[in-house]
Amino acid sequence: MTHSPAAPETASSGAQTLRDALRQRLTPAHDALDRAFSALDLGIDADYAVFLRAHRQALGRMQAATDTDHAPEQMAGSALIRRLLAALEADLAPFTGHALCGDAPQSQNTAPLRLHPLARDYVLFGSRLGTQVLARRRREALVQQGRDAVPSQYLEHVFDPRLWQNYVHQTSQISVENPQTESIIADAEQCFEWFALALSQHLSSPAAPMHPHRAEKAPL
């Protein structure tokens, strides 16, 4: 499925916008995914590795499903995914040689999906808004265990909040009646499903060898 950017169909004052539809219809999927990832204790290396691997797998699929960018408004999202994947590889490097570092088997897809950039960026930019809280919890847990609070390059990757602000402004100007609204929402739902699938696969993968620093569960 190949998408072109949504037409700049301006929403009239008081009319429902694409931003409204995204928030209303995707909140249940977003909340369910938050609950699933919240079950991980990032103070435990095995859980932290599952978190990183699931994000690497899902972001990799999002990157592969994004058409080659031509429009300037698509470039920021593509560049961010590349930087985040590099950060994930760096964070997973200490686990090299352990099953903690591997990827779960990919499920077979029927047909290749091409994500609409507005769907990709909804999930991508929105997901960066709470990462500093997770990074702090990881650091605090390591300190409680008497370990060095090594920064998480992925969680602490600097995110320009103007990207999200511009996204909100852009989608608030597009009417929900835009003919691509349903495709954008469906593509965003697919992104959430990829994260959920990746988490499920890595949680069900064979038990990884005990990491030398894995300690009892530390309160976050």
Give the integer Cα–Cα distance in Å for 219 and 144. 9
Q: 34 pLDDT band (50/70/90 cuts)?
A: very high
Structural domains of the chain sorted by starting position, each given as residue range(s) with its CATH number in brackets: 18-101+112-203 (1.20.910.10)
What pLDDT score was predicted for residue 215? 40
**Whole-angstrom distance, CA of residue 169 vs CA of residue 157:** 23
Q: What is the pLDDT of the chain when averaged over all its residues?
A: 82
Distance, in Å, from the CA atom of 156 to the CA atom of 201, rounded to the nearest integer, reads: 25
The three-class DSSP label of residue 214 is coil
Asked if residue 141 lies in contact with residue 214, where contact means CB atoms within 8 angstroms, the answer is no
Write down the pLDDT at residue 6: 52
Looking at the predicted structure, is the pLDDT value of residue 124 above 70?
Answer: yes
Nearest to 17 by CA among 188, 178, 125: 178
State the pLDDT at residue 109.
47
What does the pLDDT read at residue 38?
A: 93
> 169 falls in which pLDDT band (50, 70, 90)?
very high
pLDDT (0 to 100) of residue 68: 60
pLDDT cut 70: percent of the chain above it? 76
pTM strictly above 0.85: no
Pairwise pLDDT comparison (212 vs 42), residue with the higher score: 42
Lowest mean pLDDT among 3-7, 151-155, 158-162, 202-206: 3-7
Amino acid at 148: D
Question: What is the tens place of the pLDDT at every residue in 57-106?
Answer: 999 999 999 866 556 667 899 999 999 999 999 999 988 755 444 554 45
Task: Please give the distance of CA 152 from its chain centroid, rounded to a whole number.
Answer: 15
pLDDT score of 219:
35
Angle at alpha carbon of residue 175, lines to 171 and 179, rounded to 5°: 105
pLDDT for 13 equals: 52
Do the Cβ atoms of 151 and 77 come closer than 8 Å?
Answer: no
